[in-house]
Amino acid sequence: MRNLFAFLTRHNHWLVFFVLEVISVVLLFQYNSYQASVWFSSANAVAGKVYEANSWVETFFSLTQVNKELTQRNLELEQQMVAMQELLTRAKHDSLDVVQTQKQALQGFKLYPARW
């Protein structure tokens, strides 16, 4: 505590300067609307930049989780694709059998095209 008092007595002119500066800035912005609007618009611009940087950092660090989710989804889609290819192969094989069966059944008949 003694060190604190010694520090304040040694640097009391800086403390008085700081207090007077704070009072003058408060009075300036309280009674002058133009300076207040300039201060608030500048403060909003700075705050916007800080929030933008914060958002970018959070997005960057969440990319590992997004990458894991995309990898998992990619694996699921690959498995679905393999299953669909198997179904498509079976369907084509079945349709070829149907076409061959129809051709064999119609071999004994003469076919004529229809007219309007």
At 82, list the tokens: 């393999």
Each domain of the chain, given as residue ranges in start order, spans 64-93
Q: How far apart are the C-alpha atoms of 63 and 69, rounded to whole Å?
A: 10
The pLDDT tens digits for 92-111 are 776 667 677 777 777 777 76
Q: Which residue pairs, CB below 8 angstroms and at least 24 apart, start in 5-9?
A: none
Indicate the pTM of the whole model: 0.38
For residue 82, give every residue at least 6 positions away whose Cβ sits within 8 Å of its Cβ, in sequence order, or none: none
The pLDDT tens digits for 10-39 are 888 888 999 999 999 888 888 888 887 887
Residue type, 47: A
| Residue for token pair 């704070």 | 22
Instruction: Note the helical H segments in the chain.
Output: 2-10, 12-31, 33-61, 63-105
